[in-house]
A and B are shown apart, each in its own frame.
Chain A
Amino acid sequence: MEARLQLKNVEKSYGSVKALKDINLEIVGAKTIALLGTNGAGKTTLLRIIAGLEERDKGSILLDGKDTNGKELRQIATLVFQKTVMFNRSVYSNLAYGLKIRGKKDSEIKEEIAQELHTVGLRNFEKRKARKTSGGEQQRIALARAFLLNPQILLLDEPTANLDPYSATIIERAITNRTKGKGIVILATHNLSQAKRLADDVVHIYEGKIVEIAGPEEFFNNPRSEMTRKFINGELDY
């Protein structure tokens, strides 16, 4: 049976500012969804709510028809932050953290970490201090850390922002190879061509509301919403 994620009438405010307004979204099956929008549109807030790191003010989030709370969401969803966050430990220790919580044996952990580091192009990085690696390396470590947990929902907040083209390519390749057919991936990005390359569906958020959802072909070549057309052409004020 295919996984089904539904957001129904989700709203979130910070004081008097409404960050998310009446969000309705349904994702069925193993898909990659690109979340596009201007700065402050609500992309990160939406990702954080799906990740269970923020409580929604209204609405519900259902997984396979079952309403889920923040704690349940944190067990099934993993968020890779826009600004990489590393524990002040070795790369190995950073990668092993989530696996140890899940009760995996040390021997299994060692093998899986070695494999995952190879996938993201960081072989033999285990003993290095995570915070002393470069920005691109830290982003790959953060991805590897999330991949290792095999979450049902993988959330990526601008995973290639501020990276050089080489690092960005490696990360995109890792995302494609690792995630195709394996659960739901929601990727917030400013990079329109990245969204075209990676996404099965594209969602446009403007001022906290979803204004368009479509396949990449339709979204970029024939958007229904005027807001989306302006956004794609770089004409949208915010």
Chain B
Amino acid sequence: MELIFSGNSEVYATVYRSLYVTGLGTLLSCLWSIPIATVLGLHSFRSKWLIKGIFTSLIGVPTVALGLLLYLFMSHKGEFGFLHLLYTLNGIAIGQSILVTPLIVSFTASALGAADVQLKDLAKTLGASSFRTNLAIMRETVWSMVLAVSAAFNRGFGELGVAMIVGGNLFQETRVLTTSIALETNLGNFDVAMAYAIILMAVVLTITLAINLVEKLRQENLPWKKMWVLWHPGGD
């Protein structure tokens, strides 16, 4: 507890690095994952079932296996060695963006595919083009996409393999919460490891609960100032 509330600058820096790599990684992944998911979710074509199946099966890819693969590509002699990404935060971010891609694609494509078929017909009969129809469907399923992205963020935030192998767990440079937990556990500093674990869980829970709260307020059509109504629905 002392470590959590001590104001230790290295602790804060570790949390910041974790948020940075996972935030950047998730955002990068969205750039290609959401367009891929849109094609898979809203269009029909022959090999759709196969492509969807591949993405679904890649959700559970072991992070150490991915980390090793990325290490080989990013190392000095690897194809992308010239980019000098190994042992950098950006390298970890790119690794995590690849890690969470199958998750965002699968969940988002499923949400889009499950959208009421009649919504498509509704948009069309009101004069929407194919593009606008797809936009309408995406708007109707935006919260499912937000949940998919938040699940991806949580996956990235809690992963160890990519951060350790690609980042190298360098002190004050690439050390993040998960690699800190692994290091402190190996050193026998269980109290420190537990403190980092609590911080990690607290960040994940806070982000997830915040998203759920926003969704609930939106469903109930309530402004922020009236969020207490969610716990006392009879009063106003």
Q: Do A and B come from one complex?
A: yes
Chain B: interface residue total (CB-CB under 8 A): 16
CB atoms of A74 and B125 under 8 A apart: yes
Q: Mark B119-150, 1 if CB is under 8 A from A, else 0.
A: 10111111110001000100110000000000
Decide if B126 touches A101 in the complex (CB within 8 Å): yes
Q: Is A42 an interface residue when CB atoms closer than 8 A count as contact?
A: no
Question: B122–A87 contact, CB under 8 A?
Answer: yes
Interface SS, B side: helix
- The answer to whether B127 and A85 touch across the interface, beta carbons within 8 angstroms, is no
Q: Determine if A110 is an interface residue (Cβ-Cβ < 8 Å).
A: no
**Which chain B residues border A81 with CB–CB below 8 Å?**
118, 121-122
Q: Please classify how large the interface on chain A is, using the bins under 10, 10 to 19, 20 to 34, 35 or more.
A: 20 to 34
- CA of A77 to CA of B121, assembled, Å: 13
B221 touches A129 (CB 8 A): yes
Query: What's the least CB distance linking A184 to chain B, in Å?
Result: 15
Task: Judge whether B127 and A101 touch: CB under 8 Å.
Answer: yes
State how many angstroms separate the Cβ of B215 from the closest Cβ of chain A: 12
Q: What residue in chain B is nearest A48 (Cβ atoms)? A: B121
Q: Is B116 an interface residue (CB 8 A)?
A: yes
Q: How close is B203's CB to chain A, nearest CB, in angstroms?
A: 30
Interface centre among B119, B124, B127, B221 (most CB of A within 10 A): B127
B140 proximity list for chain A (CB < 8 A): 87-88
Query: A148's closest neighbor in chain B, by CB?
Result: B126
CA separation between A79 and B139, bound complex, in Å? 22
Contact check, B132 vs A101: say whether CB atoms are below 8 A apart.
Answer: yes
**Nearest Cβ distance between residue A229 and chain B, in whole angstroms?**
35
CB pair B221 A145 closer than 8 Å: no
List of A residues within 8 angstroms of B124 by Cβ: 52-53, 74
- On chain A, the residues within 8 Å of B126 by CB distance are 78, 97-98, 101, 145, 149
Smallest beta-carbon distance B117→chain A, Å: 10
Interface residues of A, Cβ cutoff 8 Å to B = 51-53, 74-75, 77-79, 81, 83, 85, 87-88, 97-98, 101-102, 129, 145, 149
Q: Which 10 residue pairs are nearest across A and B when measured between Cβ atoms?
A: A98-B126, A85-B118, A85-B122, A79-B125, A101-B127, A53-B121, A78-B125, A98-B127, A51-B125, A88-B140
11 pairs, A vs B, C-beta closer than 8 Å: A52-B124, A53-B125, A74-B124, A74-B125, A81-B118, A85-B119, A87-B119, A87-B136, A97-B126, A98-B126, A149-B126
